[in-house]
């Protein structure tokens, strides 16, 4: 199953929670994960509302605790009580927040003091959204251009321009715009959750729709329905030829140490693949050709990422025909650690399967064994479960 987030009214933690609940994620799944924090009782209350005549769910994370200022180390300590993979994804979200705030305030990430996002309701939003998306088991999550808002808002430090500096830092590489409403439309928590979970940016992908969820924000705005929309479905069959774009450029002046993060940034921006070919340029200079494969919908964000993360000043671009197998995600366990299994299907039959290496590496580190041992055990478990070709 795949998902698409419509962020025409921005995003916040409570809006994403509401969209998940409205799309069918049981509230108890979210409550169970939040209870794992082991802090003062936090209750989730759902409320049916309408925004411009559209029915939606608003989720309130309620606690009697006074909002607190917490450091990144404090938050890490609270999240350590959670179980994987919700813990790991929640840590990823807050790490992005810490680095964004550190860049804004020109301090080290460990010196960041979370104010609004350190409160228990914000912690509940992050953990609940991570748990809800994990429950859905999506193979891919995409999102539309994100509306950020405009004007000024008031935070712990005083007046802050909208979009906020941390929001812009978190959504670097993502397509954004101000939108029609002169308010803060995307919160730092919402931006961090999007940055940590969204695989690509663009329009609604081809799918057979299974469920739609609407999560409402607090305000009922005149300019736009204040909703995040989550569309869930099965990806459309892709064994027939499709159209993609191949972007290419020759680069001879980039520090080679920068290539790994550059390639990662291109994939995060929505590229379906990115690779390097060694070449020799004029005057015998060693160089690389950067090739990037992308959908037409994600091409704008990918182009921007190429220019931002490499030293090139121009691109070649050509349409290509692409054949891709249907894909399915499953999970096996190795000594209590979940390992994702990616399956590729031809006419409904599994023809390839591979273990998610990031899961393998994380389990190996936790268990104190070589990655090859975990990979072998996961492959055997997948074979026994009938997941292999």
Annotate 309-372 with DSSP letters as a single string: HS--S--EEEEEEE---EEEEEEEEETTEEEEEEEEEETTEEEEEEE-HHHHHHHHHHHTS-HH
Supply the pLDDT for residue 241.
58
* pLDDT above 80 (res 156): no
Q: What is the structure's pLDDT at 24?
A: 96
At 229, which helix (H) or strand (E)?
A: strand 227-235
Lowest average pLDDT, out of 38-52, 107-121, 269-283, 310-324, goes to 107-121
Least confident among 57-71, 124-138, 334-348: 57-71
Q: Which residue has the tokens 């730092």?
A: 188
Section 90-104 average pLDDT: 90
Q: Do 55 and 95 form a contact (C-beta atoms < 8 A)?
A: no
Share of the chain above pLDDT 90, in %: 70
At 194 the pLDDT is: 97
Answer whether residue 344 shows pLDDT above 70: yes
Task: Domains for the chain: give ranges and CATH numbers.
Answer: 2-235 (no CATH), 242-322 (3.30.70.1380), 326-384 (no CATH)
CB 146, CB 171: distance < 8 Å: yes
Whether 238 shows a pLDDT value over 60: the answer reads no
Question: Cβ distance 274 to 234 under 8 Å?
Answer: no
Give this prediction's pTM: 0.64
Residue with tokens 């479905």: 233
* Position 354 pLDDT exceeds 70: yes
Mean pLDDT of 339-343: 93
Residues 189-207 have pLDDT tens digits of 999 999 999 988 888 988 9
Q: How many whole angstroms separate alpha carbon 231 and alpha carbon 210?
A: 8
**Mean pLDDT across the stretch 270-280?**
95
Give the chain's count of helices (H) and strands (E): 11, 20
Q: What is the pLDDT of residue 117?
A: 52
Virtual torsion, Cα 53, 54, 56, 60, nearest 10 deg: -40
Q: What is the mean pLDDT of residues 164-189?
A: 93
Residue 239 confidence (pLDDT):
44
Residue 153 has pLDDT above 90, yes or no: no
Rounded to an integer, what distance in angstroms lies between the CA atom of residue 128 and that of residue 30? 5
Q: Is the pLDDT of residue 228 over 90?
A: yes
* Confidence at residue 240, expressed as pLDDT on a 0 to 100 scale: 47
Per-residue pLDDT, 252: 94
- Cα separation, 121 vs 12, in Å, equals 12
Q: Is residue 66 helix, strand or coil? A: coil
- Mean pLDDT on 161-184: 92
The answer to whether residue 114 scores a pLDDT higher than 80 is: no
Average pLDDT over the chain, rounded to an integer: 90
Least confident of 232-241, 264-273, 319-328: 232-241
Contact 141, 331 (CB under 8 A): no
Task: Say whether pLDDT at 142 is over 50.
Answer: yes
Write down the pLDDT at residue 237: 59
Distance CA 231, CA 6 (A): 8
Residue 69, pLDDT > 80, answer: no
What pLDDT is attached to residue 91? 94
Q: What is the C-alpha to C-alpha distance for residues 172 and 308, in angstroms, rounded to an integer?
A: 10
Exposed, middle or buried by CB within 10 Å (0-12, 13-18, 19+), for 300?
Answer: middle
Rounded Cα distance between 381 and 195, Å, is 32
Comparing C-alpha atoms, which of 131, 161, 163 is closest to residue 146? Answer: 163
- Which residues make Cβ contacts (< 8 Å) with residue 243, sequence separation at least 6? 296, 319, 320, 321, 322
pLDDT on residue 155: 66
CA dist., res. 306 & res. 289, Å (int)? 12
Helix (H) or strand (E) holding 214, with range, is: strand 207-216
């Amino acid at each position: 199953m795949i998902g698409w987030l419509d962020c025409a009214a921005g995003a916040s933690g409570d809006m994403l929670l509401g969209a998940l609940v409205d799309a069918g994620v049981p509230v108890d799944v979210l409550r169970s994960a939040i209870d794992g924090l082991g802090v003062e009782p936090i209750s989730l209350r759902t409320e049916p509302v309408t925004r411009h005549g559209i029915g939606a769910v608003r989720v309130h994370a309620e606690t009697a605790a006074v909002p607190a200022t917490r450091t990144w180390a404090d938050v890490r300590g609270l999240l350590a009580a959670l179980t994987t993979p919700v813990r790991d994804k929640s840590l990823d979200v807050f790490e992005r927040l810490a680095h964004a705030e550190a860049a804004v305030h020109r301090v080290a990430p460990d010196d960041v003091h979370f104010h609004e996002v350190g409160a228990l309701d914000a912690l509940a939003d992050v953990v609940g959204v991570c748990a809800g998306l994990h429950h859905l088991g999506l193979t891919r999550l995409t999102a539309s251009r994100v509306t950020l808002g405009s004007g000024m808002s008031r935070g712990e430090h005083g007046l802050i321009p909208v979009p906020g500096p941390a929001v812009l830092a978190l959504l670097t590489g993502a397509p954004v715009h101000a939108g029609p409403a002169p308010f803060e439309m995307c919160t730092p928590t919402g931006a961090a959750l999007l940055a940590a979970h969204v695989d690509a940016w663009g329009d609604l992908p081809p799918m057979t729709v299974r469920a739609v969820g609407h999560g409402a924000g607090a305000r009922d705005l005149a300019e736009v329905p204040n909703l995040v929309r989550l569309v869930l479905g099965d990806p459309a069959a892709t064994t027939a030829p499709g159209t993609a774009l191949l972007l290419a450029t020759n680069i001879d002046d980039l520090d080679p140490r920068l290539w790994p993060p550059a390639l990662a940034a291109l994939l995060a921006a929505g590229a379906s693949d990115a690779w390097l070919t060694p070449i020799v340029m004029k005057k015998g200079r060693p160089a690389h050709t950067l090739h990037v494969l992308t959908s037409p919908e994600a091409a704008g964000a990918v182009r921007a990422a190429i220019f931002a993360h490499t030293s090139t000043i121009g691109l070649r671009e050509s349409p290509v025909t692409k054949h891709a197998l249907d894909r399915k995600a499953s999970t096996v366990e190795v000594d209590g650690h979940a390992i994702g299994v990616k399956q590729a299907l031809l006419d409904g039959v599994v023809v390839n399967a591979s273990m998610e290496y990031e899961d393998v590496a994380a389990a190996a580190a936790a268990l104190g064994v070589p990655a090859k041992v975990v990979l072998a055990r996961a492959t055997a478990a997948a074979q026994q479960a009938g997941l292999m070709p």
